Amino acid sequence: MGIDRFMSEARALTNFAGNAIATLLIGTWVGEVDREQVHAVLDRERPFDEAAFAGAEVRAGVH
């Protein structure tokens, strides 16, 4: 019983890491990754602006 929660967290972490890696690989492959922006955000020089990447529905508050 106690291992189920741990396994669930491990599956979620694995899924998140896989999605993040796949997104970066495909984005790099098709030339859509702005490396300057990535480095600036990861170095905390610029804040991450999720609204800039969201669709109009998200910006309008419609889900």
- The first and second tokens of residue 20, run together, are 């993040």
Ramachandran bin of 48, using left for φ above 0, alpha for ψ from -120 to 50, beta for the remaining angles: beta
The pTM of the whole model exceeds 0.85: no
The pLDDT of residue 57 is above 60: no
Q: What digits encode the pLDDT tens for the residues 41-55?
A: 889 998 887 777 666
Name, in order, each residue with C-beta under 8 angstroms of 24's C-beta and a sequence gap of 6 or more: 33
Q: What digits encode the pLDDT tens for the residues 19-36?
A: 999 999 999 999 998 899
